A = this chain, B = another copy of it.
Amino acid sequence: MLTSLLALAVQAATAAPLPSDPVESDWRDIPAEELLVMTLAGERQIVIRLAPRYAPVHVANIRRLAAAGWWDAASVYRVHDNYVVQWGDPTEKKPLPEGVIARPPAEYDWPAFDAVTRLTRTDPYSTATGHSADGWPLATNGQVAWLPHCYAMVGVARDLAPSTGSGGDLYAVIGHGPRHLDRNIAIVGRVLEGIEHLSALPRGTEGGLGLYKETSQHVPFVRGRLASDLPESVRPRFQYRAADNVRFAAWIKARENRQPPFFNLPSGGVDICNVMPPVRRAP
């Protein structure tokens, strides 16, 4: 089993180029202002790409929070299996830094489904799904569009509606996409690297909500800064794979129709959460 899995990985890595392989110019830089670099105690680094185009007020808040050092003192206080990891201020008492808007508008969707791809089949939560030109998964109901709750997507924790949350508490999805949250909460980003530092944390048990029972269980962050505010020497640089080309279309087709030697039977379709836009460290 191990031997053949590893053989398959080696074969994939050394095979001739496929029509679904990207060319070098398909990789586009992600602006440093869109990267939030969070570090848990023990130098476990998590890099989140923010989505200012889709949730501008919430993302402006998160940037202000970063600049004010809010994330340097945040903690993970909730790890709910097959659902979310949540972090921020578990005391619920810290005043928001100046300039942070306490009650942002409900940035849950927007009018344009401007995807440059469209998956062959849809899912129970939308009438179409695809990829944006700027490297995000999108869903639509034919009227409005939104970022779907897929694994590693980051949302803004909030109180009961009509609260939308300030951005001072965030969560990342660590289970099967809880798509019923789509359009009910603001999605503001995606974990590009280090999701395993969140998804492998011990689960909380309190309230059936995955909250840590004791504050001693909280997992503290030691730093949280925009990449653009870090010295160039330690600044992580990421790229997304552009979706507006025949190679990306071939990649989707390949994902929708997996082939031998491992697969016998292609599905003919794929869930948007299983074809998330590829990203990589800039070479």
A interface residues, Cβ below 8 angstroms from B: 1-6, 8-9, 77, 79, 81-82, 88, 90, 92, 106, 108, 119-125, 150-152, 157-162, 165, 169, 175-180, 182-184, 195-196, 199-203, 206-209, 211, 255, 258, 260-265, 267, 269-271, 273-274
Contact = CB atoms under 8 A, between A and B. Distances in A.
Contact of A161 (B160, B200, B263): B263
10 smallest beta-carbon distances between A and B, as pairs = A124-B269, A121-B124, A196-B203, A4-B159, A160-B261, A151-B176, A9-B207, A176-B273, A81-B196, A82-B151
B82 A1 contact: no
B9 A169 contact: no
A128 B41 CA distance: 46
Nearest to A129: B124
A88 B5 CA distance: 15
Contacts of A265: 108, 183-184
Nearest to A141: B268
Contacts of A211: 2, 5-6
Contact of A151 (B150, B175, B184, B264): B175
Contact of A200 (B3, B9, B183, B203): B203
Contact of A82 (B199, B263, B269): B199
Contact of A160 (B8, B196, B202, B274): B8
A238 to B, nearest CB: 18
Given A1-B88, A81-B199, 9 more contacts: A5-B209, A6-B206, A8-B160, A81-B196, A106-B264, A120-B124, A151-B175, A176-B177, A199-B203
